[in-house]
Amino acid sequence: MIRSMTAFAAGERATEWGVLSGELRAVNHRFLELGLRLPEELRAFESPLRERVAARVSRGKLDLVIRLRAPESDAGLHLDDAMVADLARLNLDLTSKFPGLRTSLTELLQYPGVLRGRDADPEAMQREALALLDAVLDDFTAAREREGGKLAAVIAERADAIAKIAGEVRTLVPLIRAGQRQKLEARLADLAQPADPGRLEQELVIWLQKLDVDEELDRLDSHLVELRRILKGGKEPVGRRLDFLLQEFNREANTLGSKSVDARTSNAAVELKVLIDQIREQIQNIE
């Protein structure tokens, strides 16, 4: 299954301590990089949350935000007196240094940890946070797969175009080879001193073999089979495999261009490289 590295998902979960909400967004990246923002109440669970994401996602630059919104009717809120005292002292110190600075009570209360809700069972809170994350990851994975399906369709279309060009070149090669042979024979016939026919035939065969691109076309066909197999593959990430395979595609196109002695095959090599570059752009966003 092809998955895009770009996706977004969000969700909420009601708990006895308030409403947990989560947002997960991602863009393409060579490796897995997770930025995580948590409320004070969930900071102790950062490690299991990271592990849960890593178990479901292998590549991408991810930003996960989880918030806890206390219920409006919660009468169990209380001030952390020690933290308020520390903030008050810090405020006085800053005010003495910067007289124009003013801090309101509301701003103090919004500082993480100043207002605390009712005491929560850590294990229960961790279970709720992981349950929320699982739901968000389910939606996130589904979004990645939907986008990945679109990418796979574009890549398959480009692969069909590559196959068409390779088939056209395969048809042209015998004609080009025959034409080159005729040109060489005509030039040799114009020589003032005729050369040994056997030696000339041997040299002619060697020269034509250097222009032969059957192997490159066969390898292109093989790469196309592998590309289509990957596009229809299982659940494992395939981005790196596709990247390597595209290098092989490019190698065959370059060799085809370097061996070309005809404008038609030269143009075909250029068209192949354009299509290969277009596929490479698409796979940069595949997990």
Q: What is the CATH number of the domain that holds 267?
A: 1.20.140
What sign for the dihedral angle of Cα 54, 55, 57, 59? positive
Whether 31 and 177 have beta carbons less than 8 Å apart is answered as: no
Domain identity same for 232 and 131: no
Q: At what angle do helices 122-189 and 197-210 cross, to 10 degrees?
A: 160
Domain identity same for 183 and 245: yes
Distances (CA, A) of 106 to 65, 91, 251: 23, 14, 64
Question: Who wins on pLDDT, 78 or 68?
Answer: 68
Domain identity same for 253 and 204: yes
Domain identity same for 198 and 87: no
- With a pLDDT cut of 70, the percent of the chain lying above it is 84
Whether 49 and 128 have beta carbons less than 8 Å apart is answered as: no
pLDDT in the model for residue 225: 96
How many residues are present in the chain? 287
In the structure encoding, which two tokens stand for residue 247, read together? 């290098």
* Range from 53-62, 105-114, 207-216 that averages highest in pLDDT: 53-62
Q: Is residue 114 part of a domain?
A: no
pLDDT in the model for residue 117: 57
pLDDT in the model for residue 33: 96
Closest CA to 278 of 244, 240, 246, 254: 246
Q: Is residue 1 part of a domain?
A: no
Domain identity same for 131 and 165: no
Domain identity same for 96 and 179: no
Domain range for residue 89?
78-109
pLDDT in the model for residue 56: 95
Question: Who wins on pLDDT, 132 or 118?
Answer: 132
The alpha helices in 190-212, defined as continuous H runs, are: 197-210
pLDDT tens for 193-232 read 666 666 666 666 666 666 778 889 999 999 999 999 999 8
Q: At what angle do helices 263-283 and 239-259 cross, to 10 degrees?
A: 170
* Distance, CA of 84 to CA of 69 (rounded, Å): 21
3-state secondary structure of 250: helix
* Distance, CA of 174 to CA of 176 (rounded, Å): 5
* Amino acid residing at 238: V
Domain identity same for 85 and 190: no
Give the angle subtended at the CA of 280 by the CAs of 253 and 212, to the nearest 5°.
10
* Distance, CA of 131 to CA of 119 (rounded, Å): 20
* Distance, CA of 247 to CA of 185 (rounded, Å): 38
pLDDT in the model for residue 81: 73
In this predicted structure, which of 33-42, 198-207, 237-246, 277-286 has the lowest mean pLDDT? 198-207
Q: How many helical (H) and strand (E) elements, i.e. helices and strands, does the chain have?
A: 8, 6
Domain identity same for 15 and 91: no
Domain identity same for 168 and 154: yes
Q: Is residue 243 part of a domain?
A: yes
> What's the pTM value of the predicted model, to 2 decimals?
0.72
Question: Who wins on pLDDT, 281 or 78?
Answer: 281
Question: Who wins on pLDDT, 253 or 233?
Answer: 253
Q: Is residue 43 part of a domain?
A: yes
Domain identity same for 192 and 174: yes
Whether 129 and 15 have beta carbons less than 8 Å apart is answered as: no
Q: Is residue 2 part of a domain?
A: no
In the structure encoding, which two tokens stand for residue 170, read together? 């395969």
pLDDT tens for 244-278 read 999 999 999 999 998 888 889 999 999 999 999 99
* Amino acid residing at 36: L
Question: Who wins on pLDDT, 258 or 35?
Answer: 35
Domain identity same for 132 and 241: no
Q: Quickly state the pLDDT bin for 70 (edges 50, 70, 90).
A: confident
* Distance, CA of 263 to CA of 240 (rounded, Å): 34
Q: What value does the mean pLDDT of the chain take?
A: 86
The total of other beta-carbon atoms located within 10 Å of residue 287's CB is 26
Q: What integer is the mean pLDDT of 26-31?
A: 93
Domain identity same for 182 and 276: yes
Whether 57 and 287 have beta carbons less than 8 Å apart is answered as: yes
pLDDT in the model for residue 72: 64
Q: Is the pLDDT of residue 76 over 60?
A: no
The total number of structural domains in the chain stands at 3
- Phi, psi for residue 113 in degrees, rounded to 5: 95, -10
